[in-house]
A and B are shown apart, each in its own frame.
Chain A
Amino acid sequence: MRMKVPVFWICVAGLLAVVVHLSYVLFSPTLAMESKLDRAVAKTGVNAMAVLSPAEARTLTGLPPNGSIYAACPYNLRHGDLTIAARFPARPWTISVYGRTGTRIFSVNDKQAGVDDVSLTIKRGSDIFDMLTDSATAPEIGDGWSVEVKERRGLVLLWMADSDPAIGDRLRADLAQSKCTITPRVESVSG
């Protein structure tokens, strides 16, 4: 009888170890990423595009900014759909859409798009439960020009190859012409 108590508590401790392990892996980094995105919003403003400095780009991506130009648009779809109107010079580029926890939702690059002036619309899932919570279950759909997301908040990241620092300023100015705008959702009136 005396042996049952340690065995029971060892099982409890083991179960707790598993719970703590999974919770840490799944939730702790997610909270860290949310905090990071909040700081990005504080810097650039929500639903606004900003070309990132090399230091900002490295902080956000962890990659060396040399040879790359990044622009970011933290978004919030509370008041409507987001339209990204990107203007890229004729260079390799990628548009990536991330959720508020850093999850990858959608990417499109220059080869897939076939053009360098891109308009991409990001829409919120239409499920009413999804609208009220961020734990939506609606599938994400990407057709290259319109993306339906399940998270209201997130970040759009534009990347462009920059081969020569001598023309980097001009390329940054070109990318800065890209826009990130919210189109207010038209509420339907029934009856």
Chain B
Amino acid sequence: MKSIGLIIVGALLGFFTATMAISERAASSIQSRAGVWSEIANAPDAEIDPYLSARYASVGWLLPAQGDDQLLEATTDSEGSALDGDCRYLVSGKLPNVRWWQVAVMGDDDVISNDPRARPEAISSERVIGEANGEYRITLAREASPGNWISPGRGNKLRLLLTLHRDAKATTGDAMPPTIARLACG
């Protein structure tokens, strides 16, 4: 009986550690980080981590395109607090020197609309209003805000995605991820 119990424990242990390893948190923890931003797609020529591939495949998502593209994710503000849909944030940084970029917010409400005008969940380099000093400021809030604004909809647990489509000659300094400052909550 002990042997059967040990075998069951072994199988459960393998299953548990595998699900933990490919879970979002575990996968993020093994990727490179730039401040609060972690890379969830491989940089050019990087090796594809099997746990990262498994994470994407397990939820049925395709990995982002290879090459000069980069996808970064933040789930906390620059102080380390989890992004909350009830709060207002200021996402700001230097305008990336890449051919196209986008900041998007995704919530846990799983509401997917086929109308792109339903809510501004993303803003791209072609639509962002830049500052005179070469920086940009985006307000993340449920309520509409003047200037650059993205809305989390009804989601509460948020994550920000920064997509960078680089030129091959672009350097890391050309596209530093923005800071995320919490303005107010409630």
Is B11 at the interface (CB under 8 A from chain A)?
yes
Contact B63 A102 (CB under 8 A): yes
The interface-forming segment of B120-128, B129-137, B175-183 is B120-128
Is B97 at the interface (CB under 8 A from chain A)?
no
Interface size of A by CB at 8 A reads 63
Closest B residue, CB atoms, query A18: B14
- Which one of B51, B62, B63 contacts A25 once the chains associate, using CB atoms below 8 Å? B51
Closest B residue, CB atoms, query A16: B10
Residues 35-69 of B contacting A (Cβ, < 8 Å): 48, 50-51, 53-69
Contact A15 B10 (CB under 8 A): yes
Q: What chain B residues lie within 8 Å of A21 (beta carbons)?
A: 14-15, 17-18, 21
Determine the distance from Cα of A9 to Cα of B123 in the docked complex, in whole angstroms: 57
Is A188 at the interface (CB under 8 A from chain B)?
no
One digit per residue, 1 when the CB lies within 8 angstroms of any chain A CB and 0 when it does not, for chain B 1-21 equals 011001101110111011101
Contact B163 A13 (CB under 8 A): no
Q: What chain B residues lie within 8 Å of A29 (beta carbons)?
A: 22, 53-58
Contact size class for B? Answer: 35 or more
Residues 1-36 of A contacting B (Cβ, < 8 Å): 5-6, 9-10, 12-26, 28-30, 32-33, 35-36
Is B165 at the interface (CB under 8 A from chain A)?
yes
Given A24-B15, A29-B22, A163-B124, are A13 and B67 also a contact pair (CB < 8 Å)?
no
Extra contacts, 12 of them, besides A62-B56, A65-B116 (Cβ < 8 A), are A12-B7, A21-B21, A24-B14, A24-B19, A62-B61, A63-B104, A67-B116, A67-B123, A94-B65, A94-B165, A103-B53, A161-B124
Give B contacts to A, CB under 8 Å. Answer: 2-3, 6-7, 9-11, 13-15, 17-19, 21-22, 48, 50-51, 53-69, 71, 99-100, 102, 104-106, 112-117, 120-124, 126-127, 161, 163, 165, 167-168
